Chains A and B, each alone.
Chain A
């Protein structure tokens, strides 16, 4: 093709590309506006979506109205639409619609807005604080007692009613990490938890960037996938969930294996970090077999064992045998059923009122088959990061207790995986979760 012909052919592309940054800017503004609407309305006080909380966002109140389902769901749907559009645009690198600086500014704005606002959509953070206060202020073992054992404590009234009698299911490392916040009072601990979640998110995004670069994936696109995700921002960060701490450990481990592949020390460190993450939240243990199968060396096994021994010693010293009995905590939680779980929806589809014990067994069997298939594929050279992401997605889809922040687990892995299907599947599952929330918009009850 001649130079003249090339310039003629590329001219429409250049012209058509001019709209891309403007459209990206408009979509970013929509994301920020939707998050701000939720936070400002949430700051107006307790509602069906905003848990009872100490007045940490009182200075924002008076601007919005009490957050109801209608406004929340519209804002959530707008966020999902804007996020999808932004990702689609960011994929087209030839249009250069979003610079590194713009992406960081957008994600920073979303994080800041949610950080300064109230706790959104979940009482879990008050359970975290209650367990910490049980151990530090009341000398009780949070692995043996539920928050109901500290009825007189100021945090008790904020704990979700379903969790008042439930002992902690989190790992000993997380419980110990939360202990320093206990003496700060409920408000101080709440800010501490929010700060922990914020820092964990920033760490996860930095590591996602690093992993994407190591894999020659556009890092701007990768951090947008994670950091601008509405469920990640509104549910994960908004609720200050400890899943974000698990995610930073997860991406730390992935980063160690990607940045210097073949380094035995780093592989041992990565396996150790996975175990450390599992001692925050047990789900992260799902990564370990995939990493070991992909490396097929002694170093990661030794790294994992070393961290496991450390975790058992620390957990036993701090909490006794119950602090390291992860299996019984997992079994207890696996029996819970949430209305948003796909298992529950499928039961309704087949005319059953809900999930029965036999269904739990079928789901576990299905999950085992999926994991075995993925392990075989990893053994035969499939990307272990993608395999681990699929297994996390399978855990959330087959779980009868599905919450929005559980479908965040595979997201950072999907952003840096070599299998694009994982990201599509993760986003599709998230979209179905959001779709399942919209009933109050279709038929409001008054």
Chain B
């Protein structure tokens, strides 16, 4: 079928060859373009769906790890504090998290803090705390502020000399 291209009165592009000329309404055609578009849309949709589900699973694991980390810190120190600071290795995508909290009651970061570095899988709702260090009050977890490293952190030299 070869319908003449049409455009509004005085419309641009009316002098173009039929193949490139503008149309007011699409030709019915064979639907090949629509089929290709729909296929691409379905494939993109599948990619987005897989990426979304993957991210939900990833975040769920991160949250589960976080819950285990907080529980481990509380059991290790014997303090049931709510305000603990958490630093997850989101950049390197390792499972190493550092949880810091006060060693005595007080507002967050206002007392000497104990930081525990957690690694490995969640086992029975907890994770292994193989190393850690202390921070003075009102300090962020920066290498220069750390002292009293123990466990692997001591071997790795994670505290200031």
Asked if A443 meets B67 with Cβ closer than 8 Å, knowing A297-B8, A381-B26, A436-B56, the reply is yes
Shortest distance between the CB of B14 and any CB in chain A (Å) = 8
Assess whether B64 is interfacial by the CB under 8 Å rule.
yes
Question: Which residues from chain A contact B41 at a C-beta distance below 8 Å?
Answer: 421, 425
Q: Check B13 against A379 for contact (C-beta < 8 Å).
A: yes
Residue of A nearest to B89 (CB): A353
Closest-CB distance, A355 to chain B (whole angstroms): 12
Residue of A353, A397, A439, A442 touching B91 (CB-CB under 8 A):
A353
Number of interface residues of B (CB under 8 A): 40
Question: Is the CB–CB distance between A348 and B13 below 8 Å?
Answer: no
Complex Cα distance, B53 from A344, in Å, reads: 13
A148 to B41 Cα, complex, angstroms: 43
A445 interface hit (Cβ, 8 Å): yes
Inter-chain contact B53/A380, CB cutoff 8 Å: no
The distance in angstroms between the C-alpha atoms of A439 and B53, with both chains bound, is: 10
Q: Is B93 an interface residue (CB 8 A)?
A: yes
The listed residue (B7, B51, B91, B93) touching A346 by CB distance below 8 A is: B51
Tell me, rounded to whole Å, the shortest Cβ–Cβ distance linking A26 to chain B: 29
- Judging by beta carbons under 8 Å apart, are A445 and B66 in contact? yes
A309-347 contacts to B (CB < 8 Å): 342, 344-346
Shortest distance in angstroms between A365's beta carbon and chain B's nearest beta carbon? 15
Q: Per-residue 0/1 for A391-405: is the Cβ within 8 Å of any B Cβ (1 yes, 0 no)?
A: 000000100000000
Chain B interface: which of A271-279, A408-416, A427-435? A427-435
Pick from B8, B51, B60: contact of A349, CB under 8 Å: B51
B92 closest partner in A (C-beta): A353
Rounded to whole Å, the gap between the CB of B24 and the closest CB of chain A is 6
B40 → chain A closest CB, angstroms: 10
A342 touches B51 (CB 8 A): yes
Contact B48 A429 (CB under 8 A): yes
A296-B7, A296-B11 given; A435·B51 CB < 8 A: no
Contacts of B13 in A (CB 8 A): 296, 379
Least distance between A86 CB and chain B CB atoms (Å): 23
What is the CB-to-nearest-CB distance from B145 to chain A, in angstroms, rounded to a whole number?
23
- In the assembled complex, the CB of B22 is this many whole angstroms from the nearest CB of chain A, namely 5
- Chain A residues near B70: list those with CB within 8 A: 445-446
Picked from B8, B12, B54, B59, the residue with its CB within 8 Å of the CB of A439 is B59
User: A445 to B80, alpha carbons, bound, how many Å?
Assistant: 15
Considering only CB atoms, which chain A residue lies closest to B82 in the complex?
A446
> B38 at interface (Cβ–Cβ under 8 A)?
yes
Decide if A381 touches B38 in the complex (CB within 8 Å).
no
Contact of A445 among B10, B33, B67 (CB under 8 A): B67
Of all chain B residues, the one with the shortest Cβ separation from A376 is: B20
Chain B residues near A293 (CB-CB < 8 A): 22
- Contact residues of A: prevailing secondary structure: helix
- Is B157's CB within 8 Å of the partner chain A? no
A379 vs B21: C-alpha distance when bound (angstroms):
8
- Contact A353/B48 with A297-B12, A446-B67 known, Cβ cut-off 8 Å: no
Asked whether any CB of chain A lies closer than 8 Å to the CB of B63, the reply is yes
Q: Given the complex of chains A and B, what is the CA–CA distance between A322 and B37 in angstroms?
A: 40
Q: Which chain A residue has the least Cβ–Cβ distance from B38?
A: A421
Q: Can you name the residue of chain A whose Cβ is closest to the Cβ of B37? A: A421
* Whole-angstrom distance between the Cβ of B123 and the nearest chain A Cβ: 16
B43, CB-defined interface residue at 8 Å: no
Contacting residue for B51 out of A297, A348, A421, A446, CB 8 A: A348
Within 8 A of A (CB), among B1-32: 7-8, 10-13, 22-27
Q: Given B8, B61, B67, which contacts A296 in the complex, CB threshold below 8 Å?
A: B8
Residue pair A345, B11 in contact (C-beta under 8 Å): no
- B55, A380: Cβ atoms closer than 8 Å: no
Nearest-Cβ distance from residue A331 to partner chain B, whole angstroms = 25
Smallest CB separation, A435 vs chain B (Å): 6
The reply to whether A345 and B51 contact each other, CB–CB distance below 8 Å, is yes
Q: Is the CB of B8 within 8 A of A262?
A: yes
Q: Is A357 an interface residue (CB 8 A)?
A: no
Q: Which A residues are in CB contact (< 8 Å) with B11?
A: 295-297
CB neighbours (8 Å) of B25 from chain A are 381
| 4 more A-B residue pairs beyond the given contacts A262-B8, A342-B51, with a C-beta to C-beta distance below 8 A | A345-B52, A349-B50, A380-B26, A439-B63
What are 25 A-B pairs with beta-carbon distances under 8 A?
A: A295-B8, A295-B11, A296-B11, A344-B55, A345-B51, A345-B52, A349-B51, A351-B93, A353-B91, A353-B92, A380-B23, A381-B23, A382-B26, A421-B38, A421-B41, A425-B41, A425-B45, A429-B48, A432-B49, A436-B55, A439-B59, A439-B63, A443-B63, A443-B64, A445-B66
Residues in A lying within 8 Å of B, measured CB to CB: 262, 293, 295-298, 342, 344-346, 348-349, 351, 353, 377, 379-382, 397, 421, 425, 428-429, 432, 435-436, 438-440, 442-446
Nearest 5 A/B pairs, CB to CB: A381-B23, A443-B63, A296-B11, A381-B26, A345-B51
